Amino acid sequence: MDMIETLHEVSTATITSQLIKQGGMRTRAVRGVRPIDPARFRFAGPAVTVRYAPMREDLDGLASIGHPDNPMTKAIETMPAGSVLVVQAGTMQGGALGDVLIARLVARGVAGVVSDGAMRDIAAAAGLGLPVFCAAYTPNPSAAELIAVETGGVIGCGGVLVYPGDIVVGDGDGVAVIPRHMAEKVAEAGLEQERMEAWIRKRVEAGEPIAGLYPPGEATLAAWRAHKAG
Amino acid sequence: MDMIETLHEVSTATITSQLIKQGGMRTRAVRGVRPIDPARFRFAGPAVTVRYAPMREDLDGLASIGHPDNPMTKAIETMPAGSVLVVQAGTMQGGALGDVLIARLVARGVAGVVSDGAMRDIAAAAGLGLPVFCAAYTPNPSAAELIAVETGGVIGCGGVLVYPGDIVVGDGDGVAVIPRHMAEKVAEAGLEQERMEAWIRKRVEAGEPIAGLYPPGEATLAAWRAHKAG
Amino acid sequence: MDMIETLHEVSTATITSQLIKQGGMRTRAVRGVRPIDPARFRFAGPAVTVRYAPMREDLDGLASIGHPDNPMTKAIETMPAGSVLVVQAGTMQGGALGDVLIARLVARGVAGVVSDGAMRDIAAAAGLGLPVFCAAYTPNPSAAELIAVETGGVIGCGGVLVYPGDIVVGDGDGVAVIPRHMAEKVAEAGLEQERMEAWIRKRVEAGEPIAGLYPPGEATLAAWRAHKAG
Amino acid sequence: MDMIETLHEVSTATITSQLIKQGGMRTRAVRGVRPIDPARFRFAGPAVTVRYAPMREDLDGLASIGHPDNPMTKAIETMPAGSVLVVQAGTMQGGALGDVLIARLVARGVAGVVSDGAMRDIAAAAGLGLPVFCAAYTPNPSAAELIAVETGGVIGCGGVLVYPGDIVVGDGDGVAVIPRHMAEKVAEAGLEQERMEAWIRKRVEAGEPIAGLYPPGEATLAAWRAHKAG
Amino acid sequence: MDMIETLHEVSTATITSQLIKQGGMRTRAVRGVRPIDPARFRFAGPAVTVRYAPMREDLDGLASIGHPDNPMTKAIETMPAGSVLVVQAGTMQGGALGDVLIARLVARGVAGVVSDGAMRDIAAAAGLGLPVFCAAYTPNPSAAELIAVETGGVIGCGGVLVYPGDIVVGDGDGVAVIPRHMAEKVAEAGLEQERMEAWIRKRVEAGEPIAGLYPPGEATLAAWRAHKAG
Amino acid sequence: MDMIETLHEVSTATITSQLIKQGGMRTRAVRGVRPIDPARFRFAGPAVTVRYAPMREDLDGLASIGHPDNPMTKAIETMPAGSVLVVQAGTMQGGALGDVLIARLVARGVAGVVSDGAMRDIAAAAGLGLPVFCAAYTPNPSAAELIAVETGGVIGCGGVLVYPGDIVVGDGDGVAVIPRHMAEKVAEAGLEQERMEAWIRKRVEAGEPIAGLYPPGEATLAAWRAHKAG
């Protein structure tokens, strides 16, 4: 199983725990984002970044995603299948993407979309089957508030530093971003943590108290190793 | 098909785009409101306005919607069937309306309700079949924070200037407000935009890249005209 | 029917109205909390309190819920069946509880959980059948932002003063907290209010105008008394 | 000494305490406003109200204070000497008043200005000698965000319900609003409180502990009455 | 008098009015920034941009301004005398610059500094004679929250799109940003507006009512032209 | 020179840098607090804590600082000379302390006051000579929003965990809190850093570029050691 496949079985809660444990990193969960379809939120893949800045009233033409130099258009048309579009919007008022662009992302095989701003055409977009996370909904087109100014750069998204290629994972709790160089180890240790916690949760559901059991103390860890060796 | 009927087929995303295109108006989407029933959000109709101000502890009696001079009572009992109640609450703490008043609005044939404040009795109200948009839920009665001070005046609702009679439209993205004098043209151009975008989206789903296609460049527009002339 | 059973039939909207009427108390609804499962939100029971404070990077060990002196562990393992865990988080960034701890609360027969902070493992936790209210979701473990510092003390949760033993009630509108000494009277008067309002709502649905009917004037109250006596 | 003169010697801190004591009113201090000149903040007088709503891009002409029907112009040109201009802005982005309009208010003998929004031309305006309170500074003209829609109506300003004629008082702590019918009694009791607290503060400065002294217990109150009879 | 010199005599209030009048631009005032020295705020010059993103705990070394590739170091050491450092911080928690770096900017002849984030070493920095605008003060070093990721790019600062070379002007109201291609005309028309408004203000101080006078109607404009020709 | 004396010569900016360097602690600056007197802000001393919770309308009597069991009264009357009162308010609306209580703190020899809430009687309090930091000003008495519920416990103040006895330091940038066990080493290393940075700043003011100089590289550190040995 490769790293991305593994991460599909690791929750963002486990990933953020591993990032604290392995690297003292407490700032890797994107703040305030929710999936537009509450039943479709699982994704994992490398980040392709787009950065918005505040609009200026005379730049609508240039800002248009129809313009050949528009960074959002470039990102959408060049990002590899399996990658994740990560957008720094910096405001909740403008709608970064609507259903037509999301339909294009589906056609291109993109794995997911994350924006710390708003989305629009939510009802139509939610039916397209792509996990899309955002901080708000708005009818406004992005040009009402925003202009795309760069793709391929380092960005901040919901309080998280994102380099292109960082591994982005989404689930029901939100979105976590793993620095590229840590992704293999986080995936591996995360999967192990998931398995152990599933085993612990069964014991909890059977009525055991949590002290020493969760988080696991030495005796619990030994029991888990014995159980695995089974 | 009349203007209100037409607007039932035009999304708020399209309406806000038309308001920018036709009038440079970037401030016509009500900020932060969501439907209380995620499956019931489509409405369109002319605004009837009510304005709240902060409560004062000695005014509970006067504030009561049972009082004959209460502006909310007047609005509810006199607004025409098909109109939309638009409320300036100015705080998310007070519950502007609960299920009994919403039941009365249903009985009176009202088309929808929008408040930039909170609602209460959500579970009961959501079952009444009326599209209701608000910014928060609270158990609090409106008298805990608010007093209705006027109906029929000009208000601000979620950052949008609303005159009585402005056309208010809701869908899954939120609520847009069309100045009365622009409503016919926005409806007409909006419906045309919806039809073209549906045709574009099919092409996108069939795999075409977006540059020149969305937003449509000259060639795409010509193709659309040819398609229509079909 | 005892007081807790009665409160299962009284909405939080009615409870906050009674608290204003009986005690001039306008500050008894927890601000900003929503149930993690939109279909499971009804609970009532006495509060067991836990207070968090901001984390300090060198205290992770002590902060761990595995530590014998951790206040959250103590609360979870000692709170009586039927009681409600009420958490002062004071930030939306840290995840106060995840699915393993919520599974333990289910095993212990707890009636509900309320936090003015975040929760994690939402998808897994929502399946456990316990009403859980919070202000946000996050993948972050509580240790990323918070340390549990006390159980059994007086706290503030979402703008509400909560003493251990206060009666906490949740429904679709959110959560209300009844001072312990008022709970019997609020329950009793609340149930009466619910019954009258159901009767009023039927009349409203039958087409009666609200003036004098809701809130009920003297004639309506007399008719209600006659109906009950009926 | 008349009521307004008396209130010049009563702090807003004392006024809000009296409003709680006399009327259970906890919501009479305007939130978030500060004087533009930190050395000039004392004023008292009856409120003249102006209400702003969000601007609409096509209304700049009508919104202009040069327009004969502009509510702000009407307020400025008709408010009596000694009265206080109280503005509901509802946003911190637009500058409700600049130095030219404030110069006009000075010429008209106005006692003070309070807005829950922004002001502009601060450096010039601060030199004009009028106590002006606002929540923010901005270079923006009001037309960038706001349109004046009414004067003489009831408004909410910084969370406070303000009727025209309510007595508005400013000092270094901010602004308090006294309902008109309570002003005489609040002024009288407030002045008495100020005198007693000055006497108490001297005793505190002389080294007495505060228990029983502040707030004054029975013995302290008796001593104060003896001191006054002195 | 060249354009920059002219802008030293034009207030930011006048500049934002001109940007609305000349280009319909309502979004050119940086939100929420104040000068650290209330007596030193006048500056004008072309923007040099620096962009921060959220820190990551393992990047402290790279983030250090001592690192040869640090974008803040590059900006400070290469920006021309007379230019203005404009910083996109995106958080109020990290201190973008302290007294040592500000001393270096003084030595390099920089005209001003604007950040939508925090500053530190305020007491020491305020004594250095450079106009510095920020949104908050904090003891925290920038590395506590931020990492400088780019200089010379387009940024958003306090809701304003800023291209390198845009003309940035500060005064007591805050900071306005003029698109480079409009600066000459804004300066020229702004100076004319300042002169006319000074003349108007004298008439206002002499007791004239504002209707028709401010903003100036036709008769007032004719009188002003006559006065100038005078 | 003892530790507290040493800390009077170390800035909060240096302290927070040392806390990151020595303990990886990024969360030790109290957010959002400013001194009420911009010319009086220097203090250092051990924390005495008080915690507020939201008020309840029927508890005014108990909440009164005149009540013998009021935690604020206890704190004020028992805290040692030289200690610092640190208050968790958790809201900016209530005024935690006014001039009479601050006068008592002066009489008792207290070194400073920090609250993440509001203060009142600011003009009078600022004249008393005690460094007082808060997040807002309000006329409201604390009883309008708050009730003191504990003294001597662990609290969170402005995002910082504070144990009684932690060393609290204030200056023009705000307030930093040093864990008690780190205070000696932070004071010592901080003073050394202050001296080196003063020496660096002189070199910067003399025209040296910052690369390698600030923050100091190896050559600069060696030169500093030579200078000290000088």
- E109: distance to nearest CA of chain D, Å? 25
Q: In this prediction, what percent of chain A has a pLDDT beyond 70?
A: 96
Domain ranges of chain D: 29-178, 185-229
Is A198 in CB contact (< 8 Å) with chain E? no
SS3 per residue for C111-124 = CEEEECCEECCHHH
Query: Quick one: which of D224, D122, D131, D116 has its CA closest to D169?
Result: D131
Sequence-distant contacts of B21-24: CB under 8 A, at least 24 apart = B21/B189, B22/B182, B22/B185, B22/B186, B22/B189, B23/B179, B23/B182, B23/D57, B23/D58, B24/A57, B24/D57, B24/D58, B24/E24
User: What is the spatial distance between Cα C68 and Cα A146, in angstroms, rounded to a whole number?
Assistant: 51
What is the residue whose two structure tokens read 């993205």? B173
**Between residues 76 and 95 of chain C, which touch chain A (CB distance below 8 Å)?**
76-77, 93, 95
**Contact call for A156 and E54, based on CB within 8 A:** yes
pLDDT digits over D142-155, tens only? 889 999 999 999 99
For residue E93, the chain F residue with the least C-alpha distance is F31
Q: Cβ D123–E216 below 8 Å, yes or no?
A: no
Which chains share 3+ C-beta pairs under 8 angstroms with A? B, C, E
Q: What is the pLDDT of residues F140-182, one digit of tens each?
A: 998 899 999 999 999 999 999 999 999 999 999 999 999 999 9
pLDDT band at E95 (very low <50, low <70, confident <90, very high): confident
Question: Are E13 and D136 a contacting pair at CB < 8 A?
Answer: no
Pairing of strands A43-54, A146-151: antiparallel
Chain C residues with CB-CB distance to F26 below 8 A: 57
Whether C173 and C12 have beta carbons less than 8 Å apart is answered as: yes
For domain B29-178, say whether CATH 3.50.30.40 is its number: yes
Distance CA F173, CA D92 (A): 25
D115 in F contact zone (CB under 8 Å)? no
The C-alpha atoms of residue A85 and residue A104 are separated, in whole angstroms, by 12
Per-residue model confidence (pLDDT) at position B43? 98
D120 and E197: CB-CB below 8 Å? no
User: Among A104, A124, A137, whose Cβ lies nearest the Cβ of B210?
Assistant: A104
At D61 the pLDDT is 58
Place of tokens 């009986």: C22
E144 Cα distance to chain centroid: 25
F61 pLDDT above the threshold of 70: no
Q: What is the pLDDT of residues C11-47, one digit of tens each?
A: 999 999 999 999 999 999 999 999 999 889 999 999 9
CB atoms < 10 A from the CB of C205, how many?
14
A89: left (phi over 0), alpha (psi -120 to 50) or beta: alpha
Query: Looking at the complex, does the CB of residue E1 fall below 8 Å from at least one CB of chain F?
Result: no
The answer to whether the bond into C35 is cis (omega within 30° of 0) is: no
Q: Is the pLDDT of residue A215 over 70?
A: yes
Res. C95: pLDDT tops 80 = no
A27: three-class secondary structure by DSSP: coil
Is the CA virtual torsion B10, B11, B12, B15 positive or negative?
A: negative
> Chain C 17-76, CB below 8 Å of chain B: which residues?
17, 20, 24, 26, 29, 31-32, 34, 41
Task: Measure CB to CB from residue D57 to each of B23, B54, B57 and give the nearest one.
Answer: B23
Among F66, F136, F138, whose Cβ lies nearest the Cβ of D215? F66
Percentage of residues in chain E with pLDDT exceeding 90?
87
Look at residue C217 and tell me whether its pLDDT is greater than 70.
yes
CA F113 to chain centre: 7
When pLDDT is averaged across residues B39-62 and rounded to a whole number, the result is 91
- The tens-digit pLDDT sequence of chain D (230 residues) is 699 999 999 999 999 999 999 999 999 999 999 999 988 999 999 999 999 999 999 986 555 666 768 999 999 999 999 999 999 998 888 777 999 999 999 999 999 999 999 999 999 999 999 999 999 999 999 889 999 999 999 999 999 999 999 999 999 999 999 999 999 999 999 999 999 999 999 999 999 999 889 989 999 999 999 999 98
Contact residues on chain E for F24, CB-CB shorter than 8 A: 57
Pick from B53, B154, B156: CB nearest D161: B53
Looking at residue C91, its pLDDT comes to 87
Looking at per-residue pLDDT, the higher value among B65 and E8 belongs to E8
- Tell me what pLDDT residue C93 has: 81
* Contact (Cβ atoms closer than 8 angstroms) between residue F22 and residue F186: yes
User: Using CB atoms, which residue from C24, C54, C155 is nearest to F161?
Assistant: C54
Looking at beta carbons, which residues of chain B come within 8 Å of D154?
53, 149-150
From the centroid of its chain, how far is CA B125? 17
| pLDDT given for residue D169 in this prediction | 98
User: Which pLDDT tens digit goes with each residue over A33-64?
Assistant: 999 998 899 999 999 999 999 999 998 655 56
What residues of chain F lie within 8 A of the CB of D24, using their CB?
A: 57
Q: In chain D, which residues have their Cβ closer than 8 Å to the Cβ of B24?
A: 57-58
With beta carbons under 8 A apart, name residues in chain E contacting F34.
137
User: Does C61 have pLDDT greater than 70?
Assistant: no
Of B55, B58, B153, the CB nearest to D23: B58
For residues B84-100, give the mean pLDDT: 90
User: Any bridge partners for residue F156, and if so which?
Assistant: F161
Confidence of residue C112 (pLDDT cuts 50, 70, 90): very high
**What is chain F's alpha carbon radius of gyration, rounded to the nearest angstrom?**
20
E21-68, pLDDT tens digit by residue? 999 999 999 999 999 998 899 999 999 999 999 999 998 655 566 676
Q: Above 60 in pLDDT, residue C62?
A: no
Percentage of chain A exceeding pLDDT 90 = 87
In chain D, which residues have their Cβ closer than 8 Å to the Cβ of B25? 56-58
Q: What is the C-alpha separation between F209 and D203, in angstroms, rounded?
A: 58
| Strand partners for B114 | B86, B133
**What per-residue confidence (pLDDT) applies to D69?**
80
What mean pLDDT is predicted for residues C137-165? 95
**Would the pLDDT of A131 be above 80?**
yes
Q: What is the ipTM of this complex?
A: 0.94
- Which alpha helices (H) appear in D44-98, and where do they start and end? 60-63, 71-78
Q: Which residue of D has its CA nearest to F78?
A: D209
Cβ-nearest to B121 among C13, C20, C217: C13
Q: How many Cα atoms within 13 Å fall on the side-chain side of residue F224?
A: 22
Cβ-Cβ contacts under 8 Å, B76 against chain C: 210
Region C62-82 average pLDDT: 85
* Min distance C72 CA to chain B CA atoms (Å): 28
Following DSSP, what letter does each residue of F32-45 receive, concatenated?
Answer: T-EESSTT---EEE
Chains in contact with chain F (at least 3 beta-carbon pairs closer than 8 A): C, D, E
Reduced to 3 states (helix: H, G, I; strand: E, B; else coil), residue F118 is strand
Q: Among A95-99, E214-218, F72-76, F152-156, which is the least confidently predicted range?
A: A95-99
> Which residue of chain C comes nearest to B78, CA vs CA?
C209
The CA distances from residue A19 to A189, A201, C100, C144, F66, in Å, are 10, 22, 20, 10, 50
E48 φ, ψ (degrees, to nearest 5): -115, 125
List CB contacts (< 8 A) between A137 and chain B.
34, 172-174
Any chain B CB within 8 A of the CB of D164? no
Inter-chain CB proximity F154 and C150 less than 8 Å: yes
- Which residue from C45, C165, C179, C64 is spatially nearest to C108, judged by alpha carbons? C45
Residue B65 has pLDDT above 90, yes or no: no
Q: Is the CB of C10 inside 8 Å of chain B's CB atoms?
A: no
Q: Do C139 and A214 touch (CB under 8 A)?
A: no
Say whether C58 and F179 touch across the interface (CB within 8 A).
yes
Name the minimum distance, in Å, from the CA of A70 to any CA of chain C: 33
CA distance D174 to D131: 11
